Structure 1
C-alpha cells in the first residue's frame, strides 16, 4: 500500500478551531448556507465534529490516491471471482463476457475516471483542513440541536452528522460527472433452462432490494451503496440504461469508501407495492 496511513494522533489544538466563523444554516437548493450566528452550545458541538473529522482525514491522508488504487484492485478481484463463479455455474460464454467485460468493466472504467478526478482535486481536502486549523473557514451548523456541520470549498464539501451510534464523516463531491451505463438484457441470451433459473433469482433479489436498501426517485428505483458486490448485482436486476455516479467519499474510522449512486431509467420501482402481495404470483414482466 503506497500511502499507508498512520495512527490517529489528534496532534493539533482544538481551541484553534474556534477562530473560524460559525453560523446556523438554512437549506438553499441542495446546500446549506449561513442564516445567523451560532450560540456557544452549538459551537461546542461543531468543534467536536471538526476534531473527529480532521483526525480521520489526517489519519487516512485522504488527499492521496492510495485508497482509490486499493478500490480499483478490489474491483479487478471482484471481476475475476465473478467470472470463475459464472463459468462454474455453466452459463454461456456470451453471458459471462457480457457481465464481466460488458458491464463490470464499465464500472472499473468509471472508477478510473474518479481516480483522475481525485488527482486534480484531492489536495483541496488538505487546504480545507489547513483553513479550518488556521481559522479561515466558515462552518455551517445544521439540524435541530446542532446535529451536523457543513464546510464548503470549491469541489468538496465536508459534512458530518451525529447518529444514534456514530459520527459519519463525508466529503460530498462537485464536478465529477456521472455516466450512463447500458446493462445488457441477459435473459435474451439464455436458453430455457438458464432463463428459468435466472428469473427465479431475479424475482427474489429485485423484491428484496426494493423492500430494503433501495429508494425511489420519480418512480424509478435508486440505489446508493459503498459495496462493490451491491453495485454489480443491483445493476444486473435492471437491464437497460442506468445512471452511475460517485458522489460521496466516506471517511470512516476503519476504512475509506465511496458511495455509488445508481438509478434505473427503464424500470418502475416495486417499493411498497408488494407488502401484502403473493410474490410468487408476480409475472416476469411485472418483476
Structure 2
C-alpha cells in the first residue's frame, strides 16, 4: 500500500543520529514512518519555509531528510517544491515527496508535483497506485542504489506478500494510459475542478490545481449530518473529522475525476447546495 511505502522508506533509510524534518500536516503514514525510524523527527509549520530553514540551521548531526506531501490530501494545498529543493541543496538534505495525490493530476502530462514545478532534484518519490491509477499498492521511485537498499533493508517490503499479478497488471495498464493520454486527463479534470468551484460557493479552495475540494463545517456532528443528507439525496461524499483533521475543522471532502460527466457534476453541485442551505446544523 501507499501507507506502507512511506513507513518502509522512513523506517529503513534514516539512521540513529539523523534528523527528519516533517511538515506539520503530513499524512499519517509519514508520521508513523517517522515514529518507527531510529532518527529524530523535527516538525516544521505547515508549508512554512522560514520555519523549516531555521530548524535546518539549528540542527546538526548526521544526515538530514526533508519529507513532505506533494499535495496535502485534506486541504488541497500543493507543497512549495522549488523552495524545498533550494533548502535541500543549501543544507545538504535528502528530499522525499509523497505524491499520492499529485500523480495523474499535476503537471502538463500528469506526472505529478515535480513536473508541475519543473523540479527534477527530488531524491525520492513515494506514492500509491490506488488514487489516480485506480489499482492498489505503493511505489518508491529513486536512484538504483536507494531502491536496492530498500529491497534489502525495508522490513515492510521484505515481509509483505507481493501484489497479486492481476492488480499489478491493472496498475501497469493505468500507468501506460497516463503516459499516453495524461495531458487530456489533466485538462479534463481541471475543467471539472473549475466547474465545481463556480457552482458550489461554500468550497473553501477557489480554483485549486487539484481535485481536493473541502467544505468546512467546523464540528464533527455538522459534517456527519451534511454527509448523511447528501447520501439521502443520492450523493456519496466523505465526512472528514478529527483526528484526520484538527479539532474544529471537520469538513466534507469533495473529489472530482476526469471520468465524471457534466450531468453528474451538475447534479452533485445541486445536492451540495440544496442540502447545505437547509441543513439543521446551520440554524
Higher-strand-fraction structure: 1
Fold match, TM over 0.5? no
TM-score where L is the length of structure 2: 0.24
Larger radius of gyration: 1
